[in-house]
Amino acid sequence: MKVIVEPENHILELFKIKSVKALLNRLQLYPFQALVIRDNQLLTPDEKLFPNDTVIIRKVVSRG
């Protein structure tokens, strides 16, 4: 699965991640710290993810 982490625009290739919750855990983020976007749709933590997905992680914390 391809993961784009914003705002840094880091691109990661991650494997064996089956849900949004698991992806956020892997990235050490709480669900309210980032929007999770696939095909321009927001995903809730219970959503399943698939190996061919491209997912955007848009962190939301203001940094000054």
Report the interface residues with other proteins, using CB under 8 A. Answer: 6-7, 30-33, 35, 37, 41-46, 58-64
Q: Smaller CB distance to other proteins: residue 2 or 48?
A: 48
CA distances from 58 to 1, 3, 4, 12, 44 (A): 16, 10, 8, 14, 13
For residue 23, give the 3-state DSSP assignment.
helix
Q: Cβ 38 to other proteins, closest distance in Å?
A: 11
Rg for the chain (alpha carbons), in Å?
11
CB closer to other proteins out of 15 and 61: 61
User: For residues 5 and 15, which CB has a smaller minimum distance to other proteins in the complex?
Assistant: 5
